[in-house]
């Protein structure tokens, strides 16, 4: 992505999400999430394409992982490449700390909007980092991530924008920042998307100035994750086929 430009694909995802029913919880501030999404999308329409349906399923998957982790007592959530994801507000719960890591240009734009909208973000630590350059384990530790307590790590909608070696480094850095038992949720390419569908996606994100840099299907992703100390948890076939994976930090990386 362009050095100084906030992510346009992140803005587009926010527009799609405004249409979706979301997991409900007795805690949190969904209105803050909606206010942020409305502010950034500023009336941008989300066409009801196949991408819209895919994003509906992806959003439900990540919502479910977040809510289940918080309900199991995980008190640290790291949102990698957060974009305009507002889950840190929607699912804010006393005692749970959030860490958002994102490309500096996107994060600066998000922070300006949060300040202007008066959204309470005191429970969120913001870490600006280009994954292609900065090792994030140290940055997360400096921001207060406790390496001895379990954390949930999210990488939603970003793998395709990273070269595979960069993604591998990020996974290694997340693993280095946390204990055995932590969970990571990641979206990778669909097992089935080929030919025309894949080309349509590539053309649409290239037109937004954020070209796809890699294709990682679920089976390859499971190997890459294992190599960095994350073992994929067996999932329903439907989720795996959609490239929606969860993995647990288990022992050392497997070469
Ligand atoms: C499609 S958006 C997804 C945003 C968010 N996860 C969501 O689902 O709404 C892609 C995100 O990846 C981030 N990104 C792309 N390349 C990056 C890099 N090299 N380092 C850090 N973040 C990056 C962008 O800033 C943007 O927030």
Query: Is a pLDDT exceeding 80 seen at residue 193?
Result: no
What is the whole-number distance in angstroms between the Cα of residue 83 and the centre of ligand 1?
Answer: 5
The full 3-state SS of 133-147, as one line of letters, equals: CCCHHHHHHHHCCCC
125: tokens are 């630590």
Query: Is a pLDDT exceeding 90 seen at residue 10?
Result: yes
Phi then psi dihedrals of residue 158, to 5 deg = -125, -25
159: tokens are 């793998």
Q: What are 195-245's pLDDT values in tens digits?
A: 777 888 888 888 888 888 888 999 999 999 999 999 999 888 889 999 999
Among 225, 241, 236, CA closest to 191: 241
Q: What are 109-152's pLDDT values in tens digits?
A: 999 999 999 999 999 999 999 999 989 999 999 999 999 999 99
Query: Is a pLDDT exceeding 90 seen at residue 73?
Result: yes
Residue range 155-160: mean pLDDT, rounded: 97
Residue labelled with tokens 């307590």: 149
Ligand 1, CB within 6 Å, residue ranges: 1, 7, 9-10, 13, 81-85, 102-103, 106, 130-132, 156-158, 161
Contact 14, 87 (CB under 8 A): no
Distance CA 152, CA 164 (A): 22
49: CB partners within 8 A, 6+ apart? none
Distance CA 230, CA 178 (A): 11
What is the whole-number distance in angstroms between the Cα of residue 7 and the centre of ligand 1?
Answer: 7
Query: Is a pLDDT exceeding 60 seen at residue 72?
Result: yes
Burial class (CB in 10 A: 0-12, 13-18, 19+), 228: buried
Query: Is a pLDDT exceeding 80 seen at residue 50?
Result: yes
Q: Give, for ligand 1, the residue of 2, 10, 90 to mutate: max count of ligand atoms closer than 8 Å to Cβ.
A: 10
The mean predicted confidence, pLDDT, of the chain is: 94
Beta bridge partners of 98: 77, 124
Among 134, 146, 76, CA closest to 104: 134
Residues comprising the chain, all counted: 255
Contact 98, 124 (CB under 8 A): yes
Residue range 180-206: mean pLDDT, rounded: 86
What is the whole-number distance in angstroms between the Cα of residue 102 and the centre of ligand 1?
Answer: 6
Q: Which domains does the chain have, with CATH numbers?
A: 8-249 (3.40.50.150)
For the beta carbon of residue 53, count every other beta carbon within 10 angstroms: 11
């Amino acid at each position: 992505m362009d050095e100084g430009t906030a992510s346009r694909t992140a803005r587009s995802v926010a527009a799609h999400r405004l249409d979706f029913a979301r997991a409900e919880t007795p805690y949190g501030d969904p209105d803050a999430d909606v206010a942020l999404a409305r502010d950034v999308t500023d009336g941008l329409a989300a066409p009801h394409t196949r991408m819209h349906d895919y994003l509906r399923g992806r959003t439900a998957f990540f919502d479910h992982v977040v809510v289940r982790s918080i309900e199991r007592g995980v008190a640290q959530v790291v949102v990698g490449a957060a974009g305009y994801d507002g889950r840190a507000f929607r699912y804010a719960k006393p005692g749970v700390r959030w860490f958002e890591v994102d490309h500096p240009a996107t994060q600066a734009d998000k922070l300006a909007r949060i300040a202007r909208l008066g959204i309470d973000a005191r429970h969120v630590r913001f870490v600006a980092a280009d994954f292609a350059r900065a090792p994030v384990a140290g940055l997360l530790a400096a921001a207060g991530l406790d390496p001895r307590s379990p954390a949930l790590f999210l990488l939603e909608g970003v793998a395709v924008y990273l070269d595979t070696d960069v993604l591998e480094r990020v996974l290694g850095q997340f693993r280095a920042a946390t204990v055995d038992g932590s969970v990571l949720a990641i979206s990778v390419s669909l097992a089935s998307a080929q030919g025309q569908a894949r080309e349509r996606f590539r053309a649409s994100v290239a037109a937004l100035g954020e070209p796809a840099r890699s294709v990682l299907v679920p089976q390859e992703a499971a190997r890459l994750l294992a190599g960095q100390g994350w073992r994929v948890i067996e999932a329903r076939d439907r989720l795996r086929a959609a490239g929606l994976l969860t993995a647990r930090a288990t022992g050392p990386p497997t070469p």
